[in-house]
Amino acid sequence: MSTAFLAPFETVEIAGVKIVAVPLFHSKVTHGFVLFTCKKRVAYLTDCGGMSEESLLFLKEQHLDYLFLDAAYTPSFDSDKHLNWESAHALIERINPKHGYLIHASCHTLLGLKKRGVSLTYPYIEQGFSLEV
């Protein structure tokens, strides 16, 4: 069995959906993906502790309809492997999609939100969330 990897910003098309690999910062080489369908432009960026200015500029230039961004931690937990809800919020603001959502939350992250009564501009997706693209 062979495994294929996409290079940074490499594009592949599958069943009419164009997919672009976007390099992200993490503990090892990792990529998020931007999907281009006939209707929408969607970025899915998990395992993200940050990104280069090149990746940030690329995402901003896509005029995304939806951005799903890793926010695994609370702001009190320092990590270069995953974002927290504050650092994710700042990146979403810079990228400026039509709709931004947080993903990759742990139960500790969600409990921290609830305990502190934090109201987020960009919500975490919840069980049952769906989106037609």
**pLDDT score for 11:** 96
The structure's pTM equals 0.90
Residue 2 has pLDDT above 60, yes or no: no
Query: pLDDT digits over 5-48, tens only?
Result: 889 999 999 999 999 999 999 988 799 999 999 999 999 999 99
Regarding beta strands 66-70 and 11-14, do their DSSP bridges make them parallel or antiparallel, or are they unpaired? Answer: unpaired
Is residue 69 a contact partner of residue 91, using CB atoms and an 8 Å limit? yes
Query: pLDDT digits over 49-70, tens only?
Result: 999 999 999 999 999 999 999 9
Reported confidence tier of residue 1, pLDDT bands at 50, 70, 90 = very low
- For the chain, domains (ranges, CATH) are 11-116 (3.60.15.10)
State the chain's mean pLDDT as an integer. Answer: 90
Nearest residue to 95 (alpha-carbon basis) of 120, 126, 67:
67
